[in-house]
Amino acid sequence: MRGLRPQAVAARIGEIAPRTAQFADQWPTGQDVEVLPPVRHALAEIGVRYLFSEDAPALLPFASQLFLAREVVVHPSRWVWPRWVPTPARRFRTRQQVAFVDALRPIVRRRRSSGRIGDDVLGQMLRPSSRYGLLPEEAILDSLPGITVATFETPSRAAGWILLHLAQYPQAAGRVAAEAALLPADPAATTSAHLDGLQYTQALVREVLRLHPPTWLLTRRATRQTQLADYTIDAGSTVLVCPYTAHRDAREHPEPDRFRPERWLDDSGSPTKPGVFLAFGTGPHACEGAALAMAMLTLMTAQTARLYHLSEPPGAEPGYRVTTLEGLATAGLHLRATLRS
């Protein structure tokens, strides 16, 4: 998708950085805070703004409801209903999807009829492409609910793991803070060159995604009979690929269970070999938002570590539950921030 390509994201870093900085600035200090709701809110604002620019405020409330609807649908229930049964959760999801599309349709029509289609992701979708020509309105309206939620759903799960690691590895957090000190005082002045300078922070983000890939299971369907090592996979079979276990394979990731961001900075580091790091998937259906995700997460990590020491609540029990249903996540994560001197 054109508007999500790395060059497109690089040109818009100055729009992303102020909101991640605001997230960090507003963190209440000296108390245990539930982290994921404000993280999700900040990332949703960035994601929806990135897709729809000045039309974002009209769509943001519907985007949050879409997220909620997806959570409700995947929530375990006592019964496993066939896909066609309109359970209350599924009806709720359909209503939220319809509400989002109803809010989006007049925006699409207004942009098309006025000729001011914009340069954001929606604007790029409204332009004819060499591959697909001019997309029909329904194709645009069908794909955007999923893309909208994708801008903040998985990134907020990733952010939970990253902030937890800042709390658990104060030395690494200190290194991030030192790097972040070089960011401009005015976040709106942040450019892709500043982002590129956050080498260690980017390595830390990748290392957390290696250890805790939010999308820990991928599926593919074999289109024809395929031989894979000693296995024959019949046409039509579903193949499960588990990034979590692949990322802990010592042949590709020495000391695989160890949190070591430096492995991404070594020239000899293997994680950059194609197919070895699967947090964003691989092949033609790999994540289209990887560049946007890396930009949001790197900036949020750097700006938070620059201001605070994070710590976990005292006590033997962790302040979160690992959940796997909707993706690998730190449900209920609580952290405490104290100002760095």
CB of 147 to ligand HEM, least distance (A): 5
The nearest distance, CB 124 to ligand HEM, in angstroms, is 12
How far apart CA 174 and CA 306 sit, in angstroms, is: 8
Q: Which is nearer to ligand HEM, 35 or 158 (CB)?
A: 158
Helix axes 153-168, 199-211, angle to 10 degrees: 110
Indicate the residue whose CB is closest to ligand HEM: 289
| Min CB(143)–ligand HEM separation in Å | 8
Which residue, 63 or 335, has its beta carbon nearer to ligand HEM?
63
Q: How far is the CB of 216 from ligand HEM (least distance, A)?
A: 9
d(CA 213, CA 329): 9
Q: In terms of CB distance, is 51 or 173 closer to ligand HEM?
A: 51
Strand partners, 111: none
Rounded Cα distance, 269 and 301, in Å: 23
Instruction: Label residue 236 left, alpha or beta by phi (over 0 means left) and psi (-120 to 50 means alpha).
Output: left
Of 246 and 336, which CB lies nearer to ligand HEM in the complex structure?
246
CB of 327 to ligand HEM, least distance (A): 8
Buried b (16+ CB within 10 A) or exposed e, 21-60: bebbeebeeeeebebbeebbbbbbbbbbbbbbbebbeebb
Closer to ligand HEM by Cβ: residue 180 or 279: 279
The smaller minimum CB distance to ligand HEM, of residues 280 and 320, is found at: 280
Residue 285, Ramachandran bin (φ over 0: left; ψ between -120 and 50: alpha; else beta) = alpha
CB of 288 to ligand HEM, least distance (A): 4
Q: Which is nearer to ligand HEM, 93 or 212 (CB)?
A: 212
Q: How far is the CB of 267 from ligand HEM (least distance, A)?
A: 25
Residue closer to ligand HEM, measured from CB, 154 or 202: 154
Burial of 117 (0-12, 13-18, 19+ CB in 10 A): middle
Q: Which two tokens stand for residue 306?
A: 């620059």
Residue number, 92 or 248, with CB nearest to ligand HEM: 248
If one counts every other C-beta atom within 10 angstroms of the C-beta of residue 208, the result is 26
The burial of 222, by beta-carbon neighbours within 10 Å (0-12 exposed, 13-18 middle, 19 or more buried), is given as middle
Tell me the closest approach of the beta carbon of residue 86 to ligand HEM, in angstroms: 26
Contact residues: ligand HEM, CB under 6 A: 4, 147, 150-151, 154-155, 158, 214-215, 218, 279-281, 285-289, 292-293
Q: Give the shortest CB-152-to-ligand HEM separation in angstroms.
A: 7
